[in-house]
Amino acid sequence: MSYKIAIDGPAGAGKSTVAKIISKELGYVYIDTGAMYRAFGLFLVNNNIDVNNEEEISKVVDKVNISIKFVQNEQHIYLNGEDVTDMIRTPIISEAASSCSVHACVRTKLVSMQQELARSTSVVMDGRDIGSVVLPDANLKIFLTASVEVRAKRRIKDYEEKGIKKNLDEVMKEIEERDYRDTHRDNSPLTQVKDAILIDSSNMNIDEVVDKIISLADGGSSR
């Protein structure tokens, strides 16, 4: 029997960091669905296609081939055969991913890929619509959030590690805009589903969040 953990929440809440650790501890596969929207956004940017033009995007959907390989439980993402794992974590691609993810043609393609990846294996999957659309029958659903300021500070740290310098106001604005778009789109907006457990990580460190989720999974006999 496979066990599925869905972690949804806004940008910078720490979803991927905790999901990675939890998947290692439980021996599950970790699937970062945001990386797929980012790879799609990268395709559009590389090919000068307007991320807001659904008609143009629908014409190229079939040309976008996204695949995932796991190297020592690390997810590598491939766009038309090229490993783009290190190219998708820039502010431009964050923006492109969030913008193109509003279109139904993009979501339909990526959601069915995600469901297929999780079909016969235990997974920890993070994103925005995992508990609501991708894995509505997940055994454990978490809605992980934190204040905008805390999330912005975490993002600045990530950027610094990549040599990108940004100030707090700028990143808070970036996050607020992304939150607005992710929660107000017509197609599968980010929302806390009824059966998801809310964790606000504003005053928690990573270990505390991981322990909390693992104890919830243990309660549901995940191993």
Tell me which residues touch ligand DC (CB under 6 A): 11, 33-34, 37-38, 97-98, 101, 127-129, 178, 182
Dist CA 204 CA 18 (whole Å): 12
Sequence-separated contacts (24+) of 21-27 with Cβ below 8 Å: 21/206, 21/210, 22/124, 22/210, 22/213, 22/214, 22/217, 23/73, 23/123, 23/124, 24/73, 25/210, 25/214, 26/122, 26/124, 26/214, 26/217, 26/222, 26/223, 27/122, 27/223
The residue among 173 and 223 lying less far from ligand DC, judged by its C-beta, is 173
Instruction: Give 97 or 148: the residue with its C-beta nearer to ligand DC.
Output: 97
Find the shortest distance in angstroms from Cβ 63 to ligand DC.
20
Q: How far is the CB of 26 from ligand DC (least distance, A)?
A: 21
Least gap, CB of 11 to ligand DC (angstroms) = 5
Please state the closest distance from residue 40 (CB atom) to ligand DC, in A: 9
C-alpha atoms less than 13 angstroms from C-alpha of 43 in its C-beta half-sphere: 26
The residue among 144 and 223 lying less far from ligand DC, judged by its C-beta, is 144
User: Quick one: 26 or 93, whose CB is closer to ligand DC?
Assistant: 93
Closest to ligand DC by CB, 131 vs 217, is: 131
Rounded least distance, CB 198 to ligand DC, Å? 18
Alpha-carbon distance of 11 to 22, in angstroms, equals: 19
